């Protein structure tokens, strides 16, 4: 796996003391559960009887993931809210401002928002016994505030029934060909992955690239389900920044699709999870995080949403390319990534022109 530059841990560590966050540690005697260890009080978690997740993942996959947790802990009723990253973050900030604490764990696909939430004191520190299996760059420093739950990447997708392999784009630059005018779809500016694609490709392809891309008149959609649906139906010919997990999902269902990994590389971001401070079900939240970060939880995620786990001991989703075989382009400085969001949102909204 290729990472574009160092992760910038020194910068993170330098900022953390001003956030007032202490170093945590795993509890002395983690309890062994089926397939994972937990520091949570399981009896209290089951007495709470509920768990709420805010997530950017599609509903169908989210239901499957939570059903796997609920099967193991049937006394804990699970529920979720699904929105794109920007809208989801705005929702949780609005709730906290109103002192309305409705969510236990939040997953956001934009590390900039994760870091901002951490600075605001939005996460509660909980060091899971399962965090030891994750690389330092995949979790907060100090540990316990957030952890990468998966790595998502975006390439180019097309329908071979409508676009031949010979004429299909092979590079990001190929997408600027006028023949793709009104035939490309992307995600809206609220998408964490779309932000990552813009952030990583702009310095590589040049300042003029996305200005020229705007002339192709791409249409923007909220979900990869919409994007791939339009490709299968022939409404669009190309997805720019196509989420790879969506391709795997639709391909497994027999959809006529092809995926391109440009030689330049494929931008990648994380889906990052953390326990929300003052959540209504703190013990259930700890139990979920322990389960989710374990091999059994990460395997459930892989099967439900076809996402790649950051854990080295969890195989890639069925039918997919392993992370180590991809040329991933990951932001080297997540704080700079955070600062770039307003500029990206303005530019991307202008590029797509609110076209659907």
Q: What is the pLDDT of residues 65-82, one digit of tens each?
A: 999 999 999 999 999 999
Strand partners, 238: 158, 184
Q: What percent of the chain is predicted at pLDDT more than 90?
A: 90
Q: For residue 48, is it within any domain?
A: yes
**237 and 316 fall within a common domain:** no
Instruction: Please check whether residues 95 and 235 belong to one and the same domain.
Output: no
Cis check: omega of the bond before 311, within 30 degrees of 0: no
Shared domain check, 180 and 114: no
Tokens of 230: 């339009």
**4 lies in some domain:** no
Is the domain of 231 the same as that of 246? yes
Residues 144 and 158 in one domain: no
Cβ atoms within 10 A of the Cβ of 60, count?
A: 11
| 3 is a domain residue | no
Q: Report the sign of the C-alpha dihedral through residues 312, 313, 314, 320, in that order.
A: positive
What is d(CA 78, CA 52) in angstroms, rounded to the nearest whole number?
6
CA torsion 334→340→344→345, rounded to 10°?
A: 100
Residue 120's domain comprises: 9-150+270-321
Name 207's Cβ contacts closer than 8 Å, sequence gap at least 6. Answer: none
CA distance 15 to 313: 32
Q: Is 74 part of any domain? A: yes
17 with 117, same domain? Answer: yes
Task: Note the pLDDT of residue 21.
Answer: 54
Asked if the model's pLDDT at residue 210 lies above 60, the reply is: yes
1 within some domain: no
What is the domain-level CATH number for residue 210? 3.40.190.10
Distance CA 301, CA 314 (A): 10
Q: How far is CA 267 from the centre of its chain?
A: 12
Residue recorded with tokens 């997708």? 157
Identify whether 263 is part of a domain: yes
Least confident piece of the model among 119-123, 125-129, 304-308, 331-335: 331-335
Which pTM was predicted?
Answer: 0.88
Helix (H) or strand (E) holding 352, with range, is helix 334-352
Q: Are residues 29 and 156 in the same domain?
A: no
Number of domains present in the structure of the chain: 2
Q: Are residues 22 and 91 in the same domain?
A: yes
- 356, part of any domain: no
Write down the pLDDT at residue 132: 95
Rounded to 10 degrees, what is the CA torsion of 286, 287, 292, 293?
60
Q: Are residues 336 and 208 in the same domain?
A: yes
């Amino acid at each position: 796996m290729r990472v574009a530059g160092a992760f910038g841990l020194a910068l993170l560590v330098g900022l953390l003391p001003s956030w007032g966050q202490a170093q945590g540690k795993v509890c002395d005697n983690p309890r062994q559960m089926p397939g994972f260890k937990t520091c949570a009080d399981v009896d209290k978690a089951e007495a709470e009887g509920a768990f709420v997740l805010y997530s950017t993942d599609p509903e169908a996959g989210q239901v499957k993931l939570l059903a796997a947790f609920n099967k193991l802990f049937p006394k804990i009723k699970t529920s979720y809210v699904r929105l794109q990253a920007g809208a989801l973050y705005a929702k949780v900030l609005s709730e906290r401002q109103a002192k309305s604490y409705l969510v236990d764990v939040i997953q956001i696909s934009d590390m900039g928002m994760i870091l901002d939430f951490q600075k605001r004191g939005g996460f509660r520190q909980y060091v899971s016994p399962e965090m030891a299996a994750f690389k330092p760059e995949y979790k907060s420093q100090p540990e316990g505030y957030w952890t990468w739950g998966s790595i998502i990447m975006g390439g180019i997708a097309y329908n071979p029934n409508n676009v031949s392999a010979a004429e299909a784009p092979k590079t990001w630059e190929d997408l600027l060909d006028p023949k793709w005018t009104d035939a490309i779809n992307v995600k809206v500016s609220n998408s964490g992955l779309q932000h990552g694609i813009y952030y990583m490709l702009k310095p590589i392809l040049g300042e003029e690239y996305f200005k020229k891309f705007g002339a192709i008149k791409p249409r923007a959609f909220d979900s990869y389900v919409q994007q791939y649906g339009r490709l299968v139906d022939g409404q669009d010919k190309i997805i720019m920044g196509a989420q790879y997990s969506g391709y795997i999902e639709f391909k497994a269902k027999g959809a006529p699709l092809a995926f391109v990994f440009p030689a330049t590389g494929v931008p990648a971001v994380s889906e990052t999870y953390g326990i929300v401070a003052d959540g209504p079900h703190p013990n259930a939240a700890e139990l979920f995080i322990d389960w989710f970060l374990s091999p059994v939880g990460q395997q459930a995620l892989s099967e439900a949403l076809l996402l790649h786990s950051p854990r080295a001991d969890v195989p890639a989703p069925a039918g997919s390319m392993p992370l180590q075989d991809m040329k991933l382009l990951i932001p080297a400085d997540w704080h700079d990534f955070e600062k770039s969001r307003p500029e990206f949102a303005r530019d991307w909204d202008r590029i797509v022109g609110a076209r659907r």
